[in-house]
Amino acid sequence: MSFFRVNSKLYPLVALVCSLFIIVFGLVAARNEYMCWYLVGAAVWLVLFGCVKNVLRMLPVSIAVGGVFAGIAYASAGGDTSAAVAMLNRFGALFLGAALSMSVDTVRMTRSLSQVRAPRAVTLGMLISMSFIPMLKGEIKRVREAMKTRGAGSVLNPKILYRAFLIPFVMRLVNISDTLALSVETRGFTLGGSLYSIYKKEFPAVSDVLFVIGLVAGAIAVVVI
């Protein structure tokens, strides 16, 4: 198998590092007048490399949240437009980095971390954290469907929220934590220094190199120009 492959998904560690790079660079260079164009170009770059669903999912959230805080920054700065734009850039970078990190497959990330011999505590923590959020969304949906089936009413009522939503939801989370701990143990995940094998390895691809070059080149252009 060649070390570089074409037309594959982004290498998980590359996606994670680039996600942090976008966030940090966006926070540092938020006041640069060309930063907004960099974020637009980075969003297009992510779409071209297969992150279209996550970018479209995070776009309205970024606009809504960033718009609110940009308005607050504009008012607190006495009508300074640059302060509002800088706030929009910060939230744009934050949500864009989140969109990129959300595109990483949990299993591939676990393989990559194991392959580079990362501490098992880090690998296990990453596996649990990346798996927990989708699981949490599914459980919220199931509890809401159960409430509709029983005709419990609106969650805006504090009594209904507590008895029909929070209590079943917490109990399901407790059961999930027990199941998750048992699942991790049966799959051989330990925090000790025991040996382990990786049967399907992950390697960087040509697309990963192009992706990194594009992001870094855009950042350099923003700083130089």
Model confidence, pTM: 0.73
Average model confidence (pLDDT) across the chain? 81
Report how far residue 179's alpha carbon sits from residue 83's, in angstroms, rounded to the nearest whole number: 48
Q: Answer with the residue of higher pLDDT: 181 or 137.
A: 137
Q: Are 4 and 206 in contact (CB under 8 A)?
A: yes
Among 17, 56, 77, 58, residue whose Cα is nearest residue 215: 17
pLDDT of residue 193: 61
Alpha-carbon dihedral sign for residues 107, 108, 114, 120? negative
DSSP 4-31: S-SS-PPPHHHHHHHHHHHHHHHHHTTT
- Give the pLDDT confidence of 176-193 residue by residue, as tens digits: 777 776 766 666 666 666
pLDDT of residue 3: 41
Residue 90 has pLDDT above 50, yes or no: yes
Q: Minimum mean pLDDT among 97-101, 113-117, 160-164, 193-197: which range?
A: 193-197
The domain segmentation of the chain, as residue ranges, is 12-106+203-224
> In a 10 Å sphere around its CB, with 0-12 CB exposed, 13-18 middle and 19+ buried, how is residue 51 labelled?
buried
Helix (H, G, I), strand (E, B) or coil at 151: coil
